[in-house]
Amino acid sequence: MWLRPPREPRQTLSLGRIVAEAVALLDEEGVARLTMRRLAERLGTGSTTLYWHVKTKDDVLDLALDAVFGEVPLPDAGGDWRERVREVIGGWRAALLRHPWSATILDRPLMGPHALDHTEALYAALAAAGLEGPRLKAAAYSLANFVMGSVIMQVTAEGHGDAAAFLRERAARYPLLARHGLDCDWDAAFADGLGFLLTGMRDGGGTGAPT
């Protein structure tokens, strides 16, 4: 008895533990290192064991992404609707930027419980502003597209080398880009864009049909 190795007090595996470890792995090592084998290793199991808890590696990614949305607190109702929208959308942005790998992973349905809770909250904030029908839908759609796009653009820009220097060398061909593409204040650009959308969806804009 005493000579036997002291029976690893390792917690039993569970979906929750798998997802938490996946997020940690993604944070620490990046998306390319998320491997069923590597994940299992960090959990102290064989890779094939994961397949009892999860159907495929894609499941792990879906769950990890939803966990990011789970970090965002839901806004409380009431108050200025504009402020509430800024809170929801800003919350998404902050959470996604905290986990840059999520930008690489945004090309999958946001149908997890946390994502849905937040999307519903966004609709609620817009409905409180008096929007309804296709107009409400268009507003929610635009805002969601805008955040997703922002995060992806920022993460990829920050991740890949010195684009500014690259553009400066080509200032002759791309004068406007070279002048403005540099020294990004991402937060300000984001706030401005959000401002455009918010005032746009108040002041008509209607079906946006070309004239």
Partner DNA sequence: ACCTGAACACCGTTCAAGT
Select the residue interacting with DNA from 31, 49, 144, 164 (CB under 7 A). Answer: 49
Question: DSSP letter at 3?
Answer: T
Q: Quick one: what does residue 47 bind among DNA, a second copy, none, with the CB cut-off 5 to 8 Å set by partner type?
A: DNA
Select the residue interacting with DNA from 16, 30, 56, 149 (CB under 7 A). Answer: 56
Give the burial class of 18: count Cβ atoms within 10 A of its Cβ; 0-12 exposed, 13-18 middle, 19 or more buried: buried
Note whether 128 binds a second copy by CB under 8 A: no
Q: Quick one: what does residue 52 bind among a second copy, DNA, none, with the CB cut-off 5 to 8 Å set by partner type?
A: DNA
Using the rule CB under 8 A, give the single segment among 19-27, 34-42, 48-56, 82-90 that binds a second copy.
82-90
Burial 24-63 (b: 16+ CB within 10 A, else e): ebbeeeebeebebeebbeebebeeeebeebbeeeebbbbb
Note whether 136 binds a second copy by CB under 8 A: yes
- Residues 16-45 touching a second copy, rule: CB under 8 A, are none
Question: DSSP letter at 10?
Answer: P
Both tokens assigned to 170:
């080509």
Residues that bind DNA (CB under 7 A): 12-13, 33-38, 45-49, 51-53, 56-58
